[in-house]
Structure 1
Amino acid sequence: MTFPWLKGHGTENDFVLLPDHDGTVHGQLDGAFVAALCDRRRGIGADGVMRVVRTSASGESPGGGAGPWAAKSTAGEWFMDYRNHDGSLGEMCGNGVRVLALYLLTEGLVDAGAPIVIGTRAGDKTVTVEGDGMFSVDMGVAEVRGTSKITAAGRTWEAQDIRTGNPHAVAFVDSLTDAGPLLDAPEHDTETYPEGVNVEFVVRSGLQHVAMRVHERGSGETRSCGTGACAVGLAAALADGAERPVTYQVDVPGGTLHVTCTEDDHLILTGPAEIVARGDMEWLA
């Protein structure tokens, strides 16, 4: 059979969207197929795949779920079934959820005048349309843990352990080149991060302004990471002792994101989303 697909990105963190509103192909979306689809030479090419499905048909009802994370969605009609570049399951994606919201809007599947609630394996995320292609996502309250060590290019740094839906290790460095080419995942403490970790290398660029590189588990170095930008913004605010609410500009290789730490400890991620292509493919199960 043929199956529709779309290609979108948020600050050049790119995704293949697979509309599966009624959950008819859930059993066929295996890791090998996702990895082949994400291959930049033999497939469509992407950092990850999002299956767009109604929560009721997702196979991941509240309190249940597949894989190492239980779905926590309670209010969203739509669920983001996110898969990493290598086909592994992911909790959610901060850049991807904006792209998914844009898809739902352009297809007329949600009310254009209301906040959009999207279920993920990391709980419901509420997306607000800001205009001019910009979206804000309430990413919820992050969990700030201790520190660990990460190693890349023969150097080791202390990193802040922050969970923003996904696990992150945030290391402040002197230069973004210090970590080397990041062809391989930085070494990390497997007891702290048994499921792997996204690693951010951060430099300060000015007042409430930082820049970062990221190696995402299951995807490699990417042009941007939304949950990573949230972790970086929070780590910078904590290091600065910043009074809240406060907003940090986070520059990524693919553009610019803004992270607001609210008075009630929520993180609001603001950035662009674009859909750049669509088509149909033959489904080879």
Structure 2
Amino acid sequence: MSAQRVAIVTGSNKGIGFAIVRALCKKFEGDVFLTARNEGRGNTAVNALEKEGLHPKFHSLDVTDQKSVATLVEFIRKEYGGVDVLVHNAAIAFKSADPAPFAEQARVTVPSNFTATIKLCESFLPLMRDEGRIAIVSSMSSTMSLKKCSKENQAIFKSPDLTVEKLVQKLDEFVEAAQTGAHIEKGFPGSAYGMSKLGVTAYTRILARKVQEMGKSNILVNCCCPGYVITDMTSHKGTKTPDEGAETPVHIALLPKGSKPTGEFFSDKQVRKWYS
């Protein structure tokens, strides 16, 4: 077993995730794992960074497949004994022009972006070392979706006592309502991606509270909006390059020892009150 420090970045063979790996290879003192569902694309990405003089490692990972998550967890346990930095970036988004019905978009997006986040973080939590950092890439669309929720639903998402069970229940209600087109009537917005990221942002606060209750106050859990970044997900529109988009995720992933922010939502490397 290696005593080397280790960082893992999900969904990192391209876009913001790839840029996060690049930055961590330059700033993090330890091994950095680039992960991807497709081994070929993952290795191509690693080779591209090798040509830049950087040396990430690769491990396959499909965050929606619990067996795949468990395989990586066991690998890290055996090889390193723990994790210092976990950056969860993997996510999907239907394009605005996608012909898929909204019911399908909700049914696919919420499990991929929200449910998978819970399962991934809960799987790695026992491996997080002292001064560990969990950095979750969310989106400003989470705050926009919150504002479009009914007052009743807003109160639930904003509650400092919100539980995982209640949060999952609300996202399940959204997906169920979307199947019949009743989501607006039920107090939800018309964005499957936004709702999935609202779930992610709300879960970040729950996870941070759980870590504190476990007596591990030096492990920080935060999420962030990387900004409007030029990637495949945005159809190469945006105001930031992937490297610029990586700045805030890397900032919260490398918060120095003794830092206090946890359970927070960051934008442009600053804490933003998403639930105001």
- Does the alignment reach a TM-score above 0.5? no
The two structures have a TM-score, normalised by structure 2, of 0.29
More helix by share: 2
The two structures have a TM-score, normalised by structure 1, of 0.28
More strand by share: 1
